[in-house]
Chain A
Amino acid sequence: MENSTQESNLRSEICVTYDSPYPIYAMAVSNAAAASASTHIRRIAVGSFIEEFNNRVDILSFDHDALSLKPTPSLSFDHPYPPTKLMFHPTPATSAANILASSGDYLRLWDLRDSSIEPISVFNNSKTSEFCAPLTSFDWNEVEPRRIGTSSIDTTCTIWDIEKGVVETQLIAHDKEVYDIAWGEAGVFASVSADGSVRIFDLRDKEHSTIIYESPQPDTPLLRLAWNKQDLRYMATILMDSNKIVILDIRSPTMPVAELERHQASVNAIAWAPQSSRHICSAGDDGQALLWELPTVAGPNGIDPISMYAAGAEINQLQWSEVQSDWISIAFANKLQLLKV
């Protein structure tokens, strides 16, 4: 099937698209079903990427049955500068209390109610210094939902206790800017940085960190990190300007377990499958989203993906949520698409 026509040939039942008026980047799928509607409606938050002060975060409703993706105008709010990441509370207590976190200049929490969004709090990293280093990413700890870890360009990672509203700890994680952070267990997180290393930190022993991988060309920044929540031994990371996805086993540091090299351009985003420990999805500048299955033994030519999808433009964002494990969401140009797995 020709990739170029694939998009037009796709039937609507397997691909749902939302056209946004502006370019989008940050994306998050809500873990709570919409309170008012049936459980087939899922909320998806989308953050714009406009290189100005005024940016917006829109909340879309995805209807599983009707396969429609519509914005809810009442649930849309302004955000100063583009949000670098959006994430919903991993385990909302009630379906009504639906908290969205966004990172940018500060870590902000927003309360997503049925008909409005109220800001809850702004976490300013440094009360005592006159500026807060902007955040490149953050991760919400699923095991301990009061913990959010943020990564910043000032080489530090900050762990917040959002219930108390205080900094639990702040670590100087790397020698250079930290680009991504991911939680493993309740007190263990990993981060990647412009210095090209993946490090694991344990909150019980803050003095020491473990380097589990360093990019082969020294100082090649590692841009994104994904920790396999089904099998905590494995992580995936991507390098700058590289079409490789590096799969790491934390028990064997420095040696990647696999390198997935089938993208035809640089990789932009990776996501492990929420329901299976052996599958991972990746998306890149070649406009392709590839689904990989990590095999027992790799063939001599490397690992091939099992399936693929071609979008019409560079895919910048990829999210694979636990609550809808048969849909993968991708963002490219001004569109958000939900692909059926």
Chain B
Amino acid sequence: MATENLSQEEVPENLKKQLALAVRSIEWCYAIFWTISSEQPGVLKWGDGYYNGDIKTRKTVQAEELNADQLGLQRSEQLSELYASLSAGETNPQAKRPTAALSPEDLTDTEWYYLVCMSFEFNVGQGLPGRTLAKNQTIWLCNAHQADTKVFIRSLLAKSASIQTVVCFPHLGGVVELGATELVLKDKKLIQNMKTSFLEVPYPNVSKIPDQINKNVRNDNGLVHHQVSVPETSLNELVEYPEVNICSPNNGSNDFGAKQPNEELNIVEDIDGEACQMQSWQFMDDEISNCVNNSANSSDCISQTCDNPEDTIAVSNGKKVTDNEMHEAQEFNQKKLNSSDSRGGDLHYQSVLSTLLKSSQQLILGPYFSNSNKVSSFISWRKDILSSSQILQTSTSQRLLKKVLTEVARMHENCQLESGKRDGKRDGLSKPAIDDIDRNHVLSERKRREKLNERYLILGSLVPSGGKVDKISVLDRSIERLRELEKRIEELESNSDVGMLESRTRIKPCDAIERTSDNYGTKKNGNSKKPLTNKRKACAMEEPRTDNGCSLLRDSSTDNITVSVVDKDVLIEISCPWRESVLLEIMEATSKLHLDSQSIRSSNTDGILSLTIKAQFKGSKTASTGLITQAIQKVIRRY
């Protein structure tokens, strides 16, 4: 008897009902029928499905109460519609979907999983359904949500949906997949029930089979007539246990010709007394065809299946446990199965998700976290984990963050020399906003400062730079330069001695500047406590600076040393604040430098000593202008 030749796209009409019954009877979450696609032979795709899981939002047009059956069917239909509309890639699905239709936000995670499954396709041999079909065996996957994606391509999707158990078995040329949100241990009875309910035949015509089976049960070496060149597979590979029956899709043959790997034997052996159970797994193709044609009596079916397990329970209970344990161990030991297409499965999964989900407007499930199997520093979040690391909040909240935003700014502002501006040290977080009047003032103040700075820049560009570009140095250099230039003019006008001039001009500007900056540099740091003596010589200052820059300015105007050397003649001009014995010290210093003072002219005005010394080098040793200057500076600075 031939298997009913299903045209690939067609799924028997009552399949949905059968799926529904099957899934409801075991109270699992969903049932899917994967069928061989007509366009792509060798590819399994969505045939039909029934969703029996949690529903979040009901959307019905009718007001009447539907019974559970109808509700479930309706839900499944709605989900199918939703999938169709989403995959059509409408940009505005909301507009087109009728109000009673579902939209993505109405779905629970499990429904979403079911929906996304509609997009999947499996090559024969790939993925759970594919492998089921290829090997013609039932595959029972526990902990689907934690499975390696190579084993179970949709594992991450399952994780979000909390699908923990997935079972696939070949049926009618396709694969039936059942899924549950609880962890259900492998239970052959369950499968047997499923099939029975599907096929609606309580007992297959197994009359001729038992003998054969029994024979095989004891046969260690593989089943002679069951054939197949299935190599010895190790226990580790065991996820699937053999499908004894064989609804081999491609050959509608009658025999058991199932590929029965040796694992079966292992199982079988454990279950010594379970011949009857084995029996019930075996369905012949004719029964299948019977089942298909049989549209009624599903309820009969179920009651009959109930009978079955009871028979076997007594026999097999004890063994069952060990068997289950073994299988569990095997399942948990799953190594990567040789699924070369698993990578492709990943990509498919992701690409489908992304296209599907991009059309949705809400926040949606995104690509998974790549941490499924790895160790992580993070632990799962639980609501009851109170902050037992009781960080006692003695300090303010967000203390460091607030500091970064405000205190650092304050530090910088304090550092700014021109701190004449708002002493609104802005604790910006608690201060009210500046009102308009203040703001105007601030703006005009800012403009004034901008003007000042412009002029400083110009001045700075006029005098040669010695490295320091701050305003004080600019001013100092300007003063120096002016004085130099004045002297030059004087000399040019009064003295036409070329030599003198040359030597004078040979004073490199940088020397002069270095001197002065050095002077001020050290003074700046050490001098802050010195009282201001603002007496200045004629000095072109734009604006009197009364803030803390003043102490520095005093230095710039009152300390002045000019040294010029021509052959052996040295001319030293000094102006510095007068103090007792400064003159004496300077003279000592000059004599230490082998200078013979020939004439000294000094005057003391307003506390400033101005001194002119003409000297000559005695002996051959000559000191450079720098040396002389330094020496004198030391003296002057020494208090």
A interface residues (Cβ-Cβ under 8 A, vs B): 1-4, 6, 10-11, 13-15, 23, 25, 49, 51, 53, 81-82, 84, 104-105, 127-131, 133-134, 136, 153, 175-177, 179, 194-195, 221, 223-224, 240-241, 257-258, 262, 264-269, 275-279, 285-291, 293-297, 304-314, 316, 326, 339-341
Q: Are B411 and A293 in contact (CB under 8 A)?
A: no
Does B498 make an interface contact (CB < 8 A)?
Answer: no
A312 to B405, CA, bound (A): 24
B404: which of A133, A136, A279 is its contact (CB, 8 Å)? A136
B409: which of A134, A275, A312 is its contact (CB, 8 Å)? A134
Does B421 make an interface contact (CB < 8 A)?
Answer: yes
Once A131-B416, A153-B426, A264-B386 are accepted as A-B contacts, the answer to whether A278 and B364 lie under 8 Å apart by CB is yes
- Shortest beta-carbon distance, B420 to chain A, in Å? 9
Can you give 20 contacting A-B residue pairs, CB < 8 Å? Answer: A14-B376, A23-B400, A49-B403, A49-B404, A130-B418, A130-B450, A136-B409, A153-B409, A195-B433, A276-B368, A278-B364, A285-B399, A287-B387, A296-B105, A296-B365, A297-B56, A307-B378, A307-B381, A311-B389, A326-B371
- Shortest beta-carbon distance, A87 to chain B, in Å? 14
Does B494 make an interface contact (CB < 8 A)?
Answer: no
B415: which of A53, A288, A296 is its contact (CB, 8 Å)? A53
Q: Are B400 and A316 in contact (CB under 8 A)?
A: yes
A23 to B401, CA, bound (A): 13
Query: Chain B contacts of A105 at CB under 8 A?
Result: 412, 415
Q: Which 9 A-B pairs rank lowest in CB-CB distance, beginning with the nearest?
A: A278-B366, A307-B378, A339-B377, A266-B397, A134-B409, A130-B449, A134-B412, A316-B400, A105-B412
- Shortest beta-carbon distance, B113 to chain A, in Å? 12
CB neighbors of A among B73-131 (8 A): 104-107, 109, 112
Q: Are B365 and A278 in contact (CB under 8 A)?
A: yes
CB neighbors of A among B473-516 (8 A): none
Q: Are B375 and A241 in contact (CB under 8 A)?
A: no
Query: Chain A contacts of B375 at CB under 8 A?
Result: 11, 13-14, 340
A313 to B394, CA, bound (A): 12
A277 to B365, CA, bound (A): 9
A316 to B402, CA, bound (A): 10
Q: Mark B395-430, 1 if CB is under 8 A from A, else 0.
A: 001111111111111011101101001000010110
Instruction: Name the CB-closest residue of A to B418.
Output: A130
Query: Chain A contacts of B1 at CB under 8 A?
Result: none
Does B639 make an interface contact (CB < 8 A)?
Answer: no
Q: Are B381 and A308 in contact (CB under 8 A)?
A: yes
Instruction: Name the CB-closest residue of B to A176.
Output: B433
Query: Chain B contacts of A136 at CB under 8 A?
Result: 404-405, 409
Once A128-B454, A277-B366, A278-B366 are accepted as A-B contacts, the answer to whether A341 and B404 lie under 8 Å apart by CB is no
Query: Chain B contacts of A304 at CB under 8 A?
Result: 381, 383
Interface centre among A105, A131, A268, A277 (most CB of B within 10 A): A131
CB neighbors of A among B30-81 (8 A): 56
- Shortest beta-carbon distance, A47 to chain B, in Å? 10
Q: Are A310 and B450 in contact (CB under 8 A)?
A: no
A175 to B435, CA, bound (A): 11
A171 to B381, CA, bound (A): 43
- Shortest beta-carbon distance, A253 to chain B, in Å? 15
Q: Are B450 and A129 in contact (CB under 8 A)?
A: yes
Q: Are B391 and A313 in contact (CB under 8 A)?
A: yes
- Shortest beta-carbon distance, A2 to chain B, in Å? 6
Q: Are B380 and A340 in contact (CB under 8 A)?
A: no
Query: Chain B contacts of A294 at CB under 8 A?
Result: 363, 366
Query: Chain B contacts of A25 at CB under 8 A?
Result: 400, 404
B400: which of A14, A81, A296, A314 is its contact (CB, 8 Å)? A314
Query: Chain B contacts of A84 at CB under 8 A?
Result: 404-405, 408
A286 to B381, CA, bound (A): 14
A305: which of B381, B397, B416 is its contact (CB, 8 Å)? B381
| Beyond known contacts A51-B403, A84-B408, A287-B389: 14 more, CB 8 A cutoff | A3-B388, A153-B409, A176-B433, A221-B429, A240-B429, A241-B398, A264-B387, A266-B398, A285-B393, A297-B362, A304-B381, A308-B379, A308-B381, A309-B378
Q: Are B377 and A15 in contact (CB under 8 A)?
A: yes
A129: which of B371, B380, B453 is its contact (CB, 8 Å)? B453
- Shortest beta-carbon distance, A145 to chain B, in Å? 25
Provide the main secondary structure of the chain B interface. loop
Interface centre among B109, B377, B391, B397 (most CB of A within 10 A): B377
Once A136-B404, A279-B369 are accepted as A-B contacts, the answer to whether A285 and B433 lie under 8 Å apart by CB is no
Instruction: Name the CB-closest residue of B to A285.
Output: B397
Query: Chain A contacts of B385 at CB under 8 A?
Result: 3, 308, 310
Q: Are A153 and B428 in contact (CB under 8 A)?
A: yes
Query: Chain A contacts of B366 at CB under 8 A?
Result: 276-279, 293-294
Q: Are A268 and B401 in contact (CB under 8 A)?
A: yes
Q: Are A312 and B389 in contact (CB under 8 A)?
A: yes
A130 to B415, CA, bound (A): 12
A224 to B400, CA, bound (A): 13
Q: Are A51 and B407 in contact (CB under 8 A)?
A: yes
Interface centre among B369, B398, B411 (most CB of A within 10 A): B398
Does B446 make an interface contact (CB < 8 A)?
Answer: yes
Query: Chain B contacts of A265 at CB under 8 A?
Result: 387, 391, 393, 397
Query: Chain A contacts of B362 at CB under 8 A?
Result: 296-297
Query: Chain A contacts of B391 at CB under 8 A?
Result: 265, 285-287, 313-314
A11 to B400, CA, bound (A): 29
Q: Are B363 and A275 in contact (CB under 8 A)?
A: no
Does B525 make an interface contact (CB < 8 A)?
Answer: no
A260 to B576, CA, bound (A): 70
Query: Chain B contacts of A221 at CB under 8 A?
Result: 429
Does B627 make an interface contact (CB < 8 A)?
Answer: no
- Shortest beta-carbon distance, B214 to chain A, in Å? 52
Does B367 make an interface contact (CB < 8 A)?
Answer: yes
A2 to B369, CA, bound (A): 25
Q: Are B454 and A278 in contact (CB under 8 A)?
A: no
Q: Are A223 and B387 in contact (CB under 8 A)?
A: no
Q: Are A82 and B408 in contact (CB under 8 A)?
A: yes
Does B370 make an interface contact (CB < 8 A)?
Answer: yes
Does B329 make an interface contact (CB < 8 A)?
Answer: no
Once A3-B385, A3-B388, A136-B405 are accepted as A-B contacts, the answer to whether A296 and B377 lie under 8 Å apart by CB is no
Query: Chain B contacts of A128 at CB under 8 A?
Result: 450, 453-454
A134 to B409, CA, bound (A): 5
Query: Chain B contacts of A11 at CB under 8 A?
Result: 375
A289 to B400, CA, bound (A): 16
Query: Chain A contacts of B453 at CB under 8 A?
Result: 127-130
Query: Chain B contacts of A278 at CB under 8 A?
Result: 363-367
A81: which of B398, B402, B408, B454 is its contact (CB, 8 Å)? B408
Q: Mark B196-219, 1 if CB is under 8 A from A, else 0.
A: 000000000000000000000000
Does B374 make an interface contact (CB < 8 A)?
Answer: yes
Does B452 make an interface contact (CB < 8 A)?
Answer: yes
Q: Are B363 and A258 in contact (CB under 8 A)?
A: yes
- Shortest beta-carbon distance, A124 to chain B, in Å? 11
- Shortest beta-carbon distance, A95 to chain B, in Å? 25
Instruction: Name the CB-closest residue of A to B404.
Output: A84
- Shortest beta-carbon distance, B161 to chain A, in Å? 11
